[in-house]
Chains A and B, each alone.
Chain A
Amino acid sequence: MAAAAAAAAAAGSGTPREEEGPGGEAAAPQPQAPTSAPGARLSRLPLARVKALVKADPDVTLAGQEAIFILARAAELFVETIAKDAYCCAQQGKRKTLQRRDLDNAIEAVDEFAFLEGTLD
């Protein structure tokens, strides 16, 4: 009787239940697992690094988690876009390897990439 009560007490207070991840609030630098729908795949870029970039701006006070997430996703879309545009240039040269000059050409050719001029050297 006494033994049973003691055992119950030990099981209850001893080990904690599954440990929750360190802070659901904080942006953990883990890659998100892809969901079933390809379009709904969440960001692969680590949110912590994106946050570091955002904080590097002296004018920025705070950034919400959603903002960081969208920036990460936008950066991914940007990488895809610029890679494809650069590839068009490589294709014209009948090459199968993207070179630095393909990128430079794309930056010059595409208006939206104008902000990159002079920043990659």
Chain B
Amino acid sequence: MAERPEDLNLPNAVITRIIKEALPDGVNISKEARSAISRAASVFVLYATSCANNFAMKGKRKTLNASDVLSAMEEMEFQRFVTPLKEALEAYRREQKGKKEASEQKKKDKDKKTDSEDQDKSRDEDNDEDEERLEEEEQNEEEELDN
């Protein structure tokens, strides 16, 4: 399908939005320029990946991690990205942690709920038996009274 990796483009709409927000109001961008920037972004990711991979291999690791990417940025002379990226990483980690805790909490709540419902069910059954016995006793009392 994709002839070359660079053809794996990032969505145009998002690229356009990023560009427009970076530029002052009233500035437009031609279609050719926008698609060239989109392509450049793909090339950037590929190049950064390759650089990051070198760091991972140096560390004898098979999985790229965040610090590999940050090292790659410095290597590529994009040091100015490092600080904002570190901040973004912190925020991302906090969000992931929050999400994980939220889903664990939901799961805990779900388990708790099904447990308590089971208890309710058995309690109801006991009550039924009690009520039946009570009725029999009442009937007996009535009979006695009649006599």
Interface residues, chain A, with chain B CB atoms under 8 Å away: 1-2, 4-5, 8-9, 11-12, 17-18, 20, 24, 31, 35, 39-40, 42-46, 49-50, 52-54, 56-57, 59-67, 69-71, 73-84, 86-87, 90, 96-100, 102-103, 107, 111-113, 115-116, 119-120
Contact = CB atoms under 8 A, between A and B. Distances in A.
A75 B30 contact: no
The 8 closest A-B pairs by CB, nearest first: A56-B5, A80-B22, A63-B64, A66-B66, A62-B63, A100-B32, A40-B91, A98-B29
Contacts of B73: 74
A17 B110 contact: yes
Contact of A56 (B18, B33, B46, B63): B46
Contacts of B40: 78-79, 82, 103, 107, 113, 116, 119-120
Interface residues of B, number: 77
A49 B6 CA distance: 12
A73 B81 CA distance: 9
A53 B96 CA distance: 23
A60 B62 CA distance: 8
B85 A73 contact: yes
Contacts of B69: 67, 70-71, 74
A82 B22 CA distance: 10
A116 B103 CA distance: 43
Q: Which of B30, B76, B87, B121 has the most CB of A within 10 A?
A: B30
Given A67-B66, A70-B66, A98-B30, A39 B18 contact: no
Given A8-B117, A79-B18, A74 B78 contact: yes
A20 B110 CA distance: 12
B92 A42 contact: yes
Given A39-B84, A86-B33, A60 B131 contact: no
Nearest to B78: A112
B55 to A, nearest CB: 11
B33 A98 contact: yes
Nearest to B20: A83
Contact of A98 (B27, B39, B110, B131): B27
A64 B64 contact: yes
Interface in B94-141: 95-96, 99-100, 103, 106, 110, 113-114, 117-118, 120-121, 124-125, 127-128, 131
